[in-house]
């Protein structure tokens, strides 16, 4: 495990295009029943929270309940999408059956996508798990980045409660239509497990 911080992608970045397979065996909201793949073109009506997570990372496990509670509170106003980009060459414990078990054990019904090529993680300059990206629709129909970084200041072992304070503040500001966001701090977690020999420039 390499303790890694977010790269902090520039605010205003447009949502990268993606078309990824959903993790089989997960329960989905009615809007997504029966779908096996998910495109970025499907997520333009509401703000979109992209969560780069995985099954095995202790930093992710630490905030799983926070993800659950956040989704319960905002699912009618914000689109939630989880993405796992870890290489299965080096970390088969993040394979689809483990992601499905993770989602189902926490009652997650939002799409959980498998970024096997790691193309979405690279487009986002994602660096760690968890890493959070909040996009909001613009007047031109684009999803633009409004927040990136940590859920809150809680980390394994630091005894701070998991409240999702930072993400909640960012979501509330976006939903209110304001343009100035809170002080944004990087997320900290395990490094994304890149395919051997294909590490991006910002890794290491």
Could you tell me the residue ranges of all domains in the chain?
3-30+37-191
CB 83 within 8 A of CB 50: yes
Structure tokens at 6: 């977010």
Structure tokens at 11: 């605010």
CATH of domain 3-30+37-191: 3.40.30.10
pLDDT digits 0-9 by tens, 123-170: 999 999 999 999 999 888 899 999 999 999 999 989 999 999 999 999
The string of pLDDT tens digits covering residues 89-133 is: 999 999 999 999 999 999 999 999 999 999 999 999 999 999 999
pLDDT value at position 2?
74
* CB-CB contact of 84 with 112 (8 Å): yes
Q: For residue 113, give the nearest of 22, 15, 12 by alpha carbon.
A: 22
Q: At 22, list the tokens.
A: 């959903």
Distance CA 99, CA 104 (A): 9
Q: Which tokens is 97 given?
A: 């059956």
Dmax over Cα atoms in the chain, in whole Å?
44
pTM as predicted: 0.96
């Amino acid at each position: 495990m390499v303790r890694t911080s977010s790269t902090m992608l520039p605010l205003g970045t447009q949502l990268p295009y993606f078309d990824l397979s959903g993790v089989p065996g997960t329960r989905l909201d009615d809007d997504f029943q029966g779908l096996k793949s998910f495109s970025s073109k499907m997520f333009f009506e509401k703000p979109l929270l992209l969560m780069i997570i995985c099954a095995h990372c202790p930093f992710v496990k630490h905030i799983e309940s926070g993800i659950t509670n956040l989704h319960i509170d905002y699912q009618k106003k914000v689109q939630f999408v989880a993405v796992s980009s870890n290489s299965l060459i080096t970390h088969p414990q993040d394979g689809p059956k483990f992601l499905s078990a993770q989602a189902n054990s926490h009652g997650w019904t939002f799409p959980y996508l498998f970024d096997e090529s790691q193309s979405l993680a690279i487009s986002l300059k994602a660096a760690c798990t968890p890493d959070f990206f909040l996009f909001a629709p613009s007047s031109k129909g684009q999803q633009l980045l409004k927040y990136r970084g940590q859920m809150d200041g809680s980390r394994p072992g630091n005894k701070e409660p998991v409240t999702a304070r930072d993400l909640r503040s960012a979501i509330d500001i976006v939903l209110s239509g304001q343009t100035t966001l809170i002080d944004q701090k990087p997320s900290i977690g395990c490094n994304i497990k890149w395919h051997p020999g294909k590490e991006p420039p910002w890794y290491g």
